[in-house]
Amino acid sequence: MKKNIIMIKSYDFAIKIIRLYKIMTQNQKEYVLSKQLLRSGTAIGALVRESEHAQSKADFLHKINIALKEANETEYWLQLLHNTDYIDDITASDYLSNVSEILRMLAAIVKTTKTNIGRIQ
């Protein structure tokens, strides 16, 4: 069985986001920004999982595009939390590296899917 790398990476990233959220709410009592991060950071994997059973290529593309937007938003929240000293340099670097990799993968999937849909039509 072929491993779906984006599914694995987005799921693992969601787990990391949940752990960061728990630390921020328990230790730093930060609830507003961390909630935004939790929402967008876990949505990536959920949308990738949803795309697995898309009803059509267009539906698949739509779900992956939304996952890409959520990853971009997650990057924003991570940068904001880092620049306001809620997360340190090492944590920010780790999480931003993860989300950057996911962004590149999702962008490549979107591009390939658009090309493939164009060939079908």
CA dist 3 to 7, 17, 75, 92, Å? 8, 22, 25, 28
Res 2: pLDDT? 62
- pTM here is 0.93
Judged against a pLDDT cut of 90, whether residue 120 lies above it is answered with no
Boundaries of every domain in the chain? 5-120
Residue 9 is classified by DSSP as H
Do 63 and 51 contact (CB within 8 A), yes or no? yes
Q: Provide the residue count of the chain.
A: 121
pLDDT digits (tens, 9 = 90+) for 19-67: 999 999 999 999 999 999 999 999 999 999 999 999 999 999 999 999 9
Domain 5-120: give its CATH code.
1.20.1440.60
